[in-house]
Amino acid sequence: MVLKGINASDGVGLGCAVCVREESLDYSDVPYSGKEAEKARLQNAIDEFNQRTAAMADRIREQTGPKEAEILTGQITMLADPFMLSQMQEAIDGGSCAEGAADAVCTMYADMFAGVDDELMRQRATDVRDIRSRLLSILMGVTGIDLSALPAGTILVAHDLTPSMTVGLNRENVAGIITETGGRTSHSAILARALQLPAVLSIAKALELIKDGDGLIVDGGAGVVVLSPDARTRSEYLAKQKDYQEKTAALEVYRDKSTADADGKYYHLYANIGSAAEAETAAQSGAEGIGLFRTEFLFMDRTSLPDETVQYEAYYAVSKTMAGKEVIIRTLDVGGDKAIDYLGLEKEENPFLGHRAIRYCLDRPELYKVQLRALLRAGAEEQNIKIMLPLVTCVEEVRAARELLDQCKKELAEAGVPYDKDIALGAMIETPAAALIADLLAQECDFFSIGTNDLTQYTMAVDRGNAKVAKLYSPFQPAVLRSIRSVISAGKRAGIPVGMCGEAAADPGLIPLLMCWGLDEFSVSSASVLATRAQIHRWHEKDFRRITEEALGMSTASGVEGYLKASVNQS
């Protein structure tokens, strides 16, 4: 039987199933001992949770790195939210035992995060559920899942791979991971890639279909699981596993190389990050800079606006980590599927087309200026920060942002605070409107960065979360490709650099087209840096020009994609 899911972490694993099922956390028989006693029990459990989580974070930091440890330390931060704690205490005042209070409040937050379309926000639901189950386990004295003594050749099957489950995991004995939930940007996927384990996520009813001891093959690249494979299938996948391992090892030669094509032309290869801690991972991966720092994550998991100092410290930390290399920081991209209660965003019937991103920030100039001042200050020392505006649709938005930036410069100068006087201001091209007036925007901007995720969604009028129309969501659509080409062309004519920070920048099939059109900078996930560099290294100009001409002569996304993938495999 072949089960299909989401390809979350590349590689091929063969082994036997070990199914992980949660212990019962039924607290219906727990008596209510009074307000003070229950609050004391709750606080003791939180203190123990924090101690255990800090120790787990230290162990994950040693095993995989700071980015993965931050997932756990983020749980401590979430539980430290005074609003969350006060809600639990109010539930106890209302007659709930500590278990009931923790369960009700965590479930409410998890449901709230799970209802958001953005995958990065849905990660918070996984975190809160992990907090809930671990708090209840501490309160009830239930021993947690111990994955330190798994037999060799284990294929781990679970509803979700939580950060706490990975602590003590014997990586050498685990051949692959299967979960019932999660996507490519979920914590399950991040952790699997960090552990370099093949993983297929979102296989519905995996724990019903798979039994302990079942033979399994996990093809993380294809997003396929083979249940009870025969000898011939095992042999085929063993050969595929060997081939993958050899190709992965071969990529290491690119770690310290510059990014150049086969003719010696150089490109910039940057990484996308969501926090200051991820900058270190990006640097270690071989990234030559940061092409996208998503600052909205500084604003999430909080009950109040991060002040100028908090923001300055985060931006400065990234600037220092990447000293001598460019750091492109996107200003607050809030709204749409990124709701933050304390920002006072009104519920809208069509939030993706509503009061969000640069529109919201320009209507809240005092809030926006806090971020702009922090960015100006953070860039004073290394002078490597560039400011990028999200969801630009017209020239007026860039001019208004630049006017606010000039006001901030004046305020800092009058206060005698050091700042980067020549900081660059650019636009993220992710709407059809911006693409159509790219020539006009290029006269106002110091650089462009193409966000292919939203550009594809808006160009094709497709809700990428809607399975019924998801097949239309493809950067290989001729309309999307023509849009990308025209944006790069407008930037080149104006003499400003053009980068790409959407997922398409790492797609082997699209890389030769982007090179042909003159893209200056590719910004990808840290995990994709070496593979992207290797792809760029293989292409001669005469070859990528020939392939591009052929591809643009095709009228369908499937035709373009099939041709490009075949060309990549043959070259």
Domains of the chain (ranges, CATH numbers): 2-19+151-159+170-180+195-252 (3.50.30.10), 35-140 (1.10.274.10), 264-570 (3.20.20.60)
Please tell me which residue in 19, 187, 268, 408 is annotated as part of the active site. Answer: 187
Q: How far apart are CA 506 and CA 448, in angstroms?
A: 18
Distance (Å) of CA 249 to CA 62, 194, 285: 22, 16, 14
Q: Which residues pair with 269 in a beta bridge?
A: 522
Average pLDDT value for residue range 9-31: 88
Q: Which of 461, 453, 451, 459 is nearest to 429 (CA)?
A: 451
> Quick one: pLDDT at residue 120?
59
Q: How many CB atoms lie within 10 A of CB 399?
A: 11
Q: How far apart are CA 428 and CA 435, in angstroms?
A: 10
Average pLDDT value for residue range 213-236: 95
> Quick one: pLDDT at residue 347?
74
Residues 6+ apart with CB under 8 A from 353: none
Q: Is 501 a catalytic residue?
A: yes
In whole angstroms, what separates CA 332 from the centre of its chain?
16
Average pLDDT value for residue range 140-149: 73
Percentage of the chain with pLDDT > 90? 62
Percentage of the chain with pLDDT > 70? 91
114/238: higher pLDDT: 238
Q: Name the one residue in this structure whose structure tokens are 């993706």.
A: 352
> Quick one: pLDDT at residue 41?
95
> Quick one: pLDDT at residue 340?
65
Q: Is 187 a catalytic residue?
A: yes
Residues 6+ apart with CB under 8 A from 106: 128, 129, 131, 132, 135
Give me the chain's average pLDDT, please.
89
Question: What is the token pair recorded at 296?
Answer: 């909205």
Please tell me which residue in 361, 408, 501, 516 is annotated as part of the active site. Answer: 501
Q: How many CB atoms lie within 10 A of CB 298?
A: 21
Task: Let me know: does 190 contact 67? Beta carbons within 8 Å.
Answer: yes
Q: Which of 244, 180, 170 is nearest to 13 (CA)?
A: 244
Average pLDDT value for residue range 151-178: 83
137/413: higher pLDDT: 413
Question: Which parts of 141-185 fold into alpha helices (H)?
Answer: 163-166
> Quick one: pLDDT at residue 381?
96
**Which of 69-83, 193-207, 273-287, 375-389 shows the highest mean pLDDT?**
375-389
**Which of 43-47, 460-464, 468-472 shows the highest mean pLDDT?**
43-47
Q: Please write the tens of the pLDDT for every residue from 485-507.
A: 999 999 999 999 999 998 799 99
